[in-house]
Amino acid sequence: MARKIAFIGAGSLEFTRELVRDILTFPALAGSTIALMDIHAERLAFAKSAVEKIVAAGNYPAKVIATDNRVEALKGADAVLCTILSGGVNVWRHDIEIPQKYGIDICVGDTRGPAGIFRALRTIPVMLDILKDVEDHCPEAVFLNYTNPMAMLCRAMQQQSKVKVTGLCHSVQGTAKMLAQWIGAPFQEITYLCAGINHMAWYLEYQWKGRDAYPLIREALQRPEIYNEEIVRNEMFQHLGYYTTESSGHSSEYNPWFRKRPDLIEKYCSPGTGWNPGHHAYILQEYLKAESTWRTDTQKWLESEEPVDLRRGLEYAAYILNATLGDGELYKFNGNVRNFGLVDNLPQGCCVEVPVLASPRGFEPIYVGPLPANVAIMTHAAASCEELAVQGGIAGDRDLIYQAIYFDPLTAAVLSLAEIRKMVDEMFMINKDWLPQFKIG
C-alpha cells in the first residue's frame, strides 16, 4: 500500500533532503507520495527538484508533488513532518536583540527563556491551525514535529488535539555518538537510558558493552582537546555527574552559571564549543549567512555530478515511519510526549523527552522513574516555566508569560522583577502583529 507523507515547511531544504533520503531507503516506503508544502515559492521549487533528484538516484517508485496549499498536501496523508519557522529573521531577531539590551546574552534562543518563549507564542497558533487541518483531512496521520521550541509546541499540540503527535530532536543520538567517539567506542556497542525534557535530557545510564562508560568519559575530559570541545557541558558533567543532551551553546542559556557576567561568557562560552560557538547571537548570524547563500548552495548541489549519497542517517523520522506505516519493525527512540506517569519528579502532564516505542499501534512511552535529585531540580524548574508559558500562550494571558520569564534561571540571575517586566513588555510590543491571542496596546 503506497503511503502519502506530507512535509509542512518543506523549504527547510537540508532537513527535507535528509528526511526524504532516509524514508525512501525503507522498501515499504519507497513508493510513497512525497507531498511538499511551503509558502515560499522559490524554496518549494528547490525542494521539489532536490527530492526528485534523490528519487531518480535511488530509482525509487516514489511520486513527488509540491504545493503552497496546506490542505492539498495534507489530504489523505498517512504522516506529516513539520519543519516550519513562523516569521523570518527580521521577526525573531528581536528575541535575541531586545534581551541583549537588558544584559541577557543569548546564543541560540530557540528553546526556553525569553527568546524561546516568544518564539513559542508566535508559533503555537500556527501549529494549532495546522493540526485543525490534520484533524479535518488526515486525522489518523502520524505527526512528527521538528520545529522549535520543541517542548512547548508539543505540549500545546498534545493538550489541544487528539492527533498522534510527538516531537523529534537529534541531540540525544548525536550526543551519544559524540561521547562514543571520545572514549573510542563503536557507536553500535553503546546503549543508554536518556530522559528529561527537550534540550535538557540526561544520560541516566551510558554503557559500552553493558558496562558503565561514565568513568571513561571522565578520563577523556582530562584531554584538553576533548574538554575544550564542549566546555559548558563538560563543566556541568564534572559538577552534576550526568551528561546532558544539548550542545554547550544551547545549554549555557538554560542555567544561571555561565552567561550572567562578561568574564564568565569569555571563559566558558566564547571559545568554540562543539557544533556551535557560544558567542552572542550565534544562530542569528548563521541564519543571516544562510539567507545569502542558500540559493547558490542548493543550485550547486542540484547541478553536481557527484553521486547522491543515499545512505540512511541517524534522524529518527524514517525509522518511526517504517515502524508505524511500513514493515512494522519496532523502533525505540527518544520522543517528546506528555508526562503521565513517566518521570516521577517532573510536573504531571508537562512535555518530557523519554524513550518511546514506535509500532503499528502508534507511540508507547516507556516509564523512566525519577531523575537524580540534583538534575531534577533544574529540569523541574525549566519544565515549570514551560508549563506557564504554554498555558499563557494558549489563553492569551500576559501575566503567565511574565511569570514564566521571572523564573527563567539566566534572566533571574541578571535582572530584577521590574526589569524583567519592562523587557517582556518591549518584546510583546515588537511582536504584537504575530500574537493574535493577546491584547497588546
Nearest Cα residue to 406 out of 389, 421, 384, 394: 421
CB 190 within 8 A of CB 208: yes
Task: Give tens-digit pLDDT for 390-405.
Answer: 999 999 999 999 999 9
Q: How far is CA 246 from CA 178, 258, 284, 318, 356, in A?
A: 11, 15, 18, 22, 19
Max CA separation in the chain (angstroms): 62
Nearest Cα residue to 420 out of 68, 101, 177: 101
CA distance 371 to 235: 19
Residue 375 pLDDT level (bands cut at 50, 70, 90):
very high
CA distance 335 to 2: 26
CA distance 327 to 239: 44
Task: Give tens-digit pLDDT for 325-339.
Answer: 999 999 999 999 999
Task: Give tens-digit pLDDT for 130-143.
Answer: 999 999 999 999 99
Report the pLDDT averaged over residues 298-306: 95
- Catalytic residue (one of 40, 94, 137, 170): 170
User: Which residues are CB-contacts of 425 (< 8 A; sequence separation ≥ 6)?
Assistant: none
What residues form the annotated binding site?
A: 148, 169, 199
Residue 152 pLDDT level (bands cut at 50, 70, 90):
very high
Domains annotated on the chain, with CATH:
4-167 (3.40.50.720)
Task: Give tens-digit pLDDT for 74-119.
Answer: 999 999 999 999 988 999 999 999 999 999 999 999 999 999 999 9
What residues form the annotated binding site for Mn(2+)?
A: 169, 199
pTM for this entry: 0.97
94 belongs to the catalytic site:
no
User: Which residues are CB-contacts of 117 (< 8 A; sequence separation ≥ 6)?
Assistant: 149, 152, 385, 389, 401, 404, 405, 408
Report the pLDDT averaged over residues 406-411: 98
What residues form the annotated binding site for substrate?
A: 148
